[in-house]
């Protein structure tokens, strides 16, 4: 493999964000799968490869195939996401175009109220 994934073309979309503001090492990405799917994938790579962070998301299959899950299955994935938050030091909310969905809001509230750990918003990382 001679081609770099994180080349200038890839990184140009995120040049106006300062991910170095995230000091914690274990980061959970939160956001709308339908509105921020590409952001999940790309920001995960940036945080891991450039910033050496341990990045988690609720479900890769959920990220790629949300429309294939029943309501019951999706509800189970949401409960698992809340459990996974217990192991995280911070969350990064991918609030693309200012949108924060109902499930993301539930994860934010859980993290803020129960765990009392740092929450970062992508929109706040803009330079």
How much is the pTM? 0.87
Q: Which structure tokens are listed for 66?
A: 């949300």
- Element of type H or E holding 102: helix 102-109
Give the pLDDT confidence of 19-78 residue by residue, as tens digits: 999 999 999 999 987 888 889 889 999 999 999 999 998 877 766 777 788 889 988 888
Name the class of domain 18-125: alpha beta
């Amino acid at each position: 493999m001679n081609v770099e994934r994180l080349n200038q073309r890839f990184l140009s979309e995120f040049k106006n964000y300062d991910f170095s503001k995230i000091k914690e090492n274990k980061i959970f990405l939160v956001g709308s799968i339908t509105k921020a799917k590409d952001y999940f994938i790309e920001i995960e790579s940036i945080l891991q490869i450039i910033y050496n962070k341990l990045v988690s998301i609720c479900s890769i299959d959920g990220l790629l195939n949300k429309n294939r899950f029943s309501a019951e299955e999706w509800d189970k994935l949401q409960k698992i996401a809340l459990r996974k938050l217990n192991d995280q030091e911070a969350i990064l909310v991918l609030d693309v175009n200012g949108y924060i969905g109902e499930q993301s809001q539930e994860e934010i509230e859980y993290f803020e109220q129960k765990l009392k750990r740092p929450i970062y918003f992508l929109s706040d990382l803009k330079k």
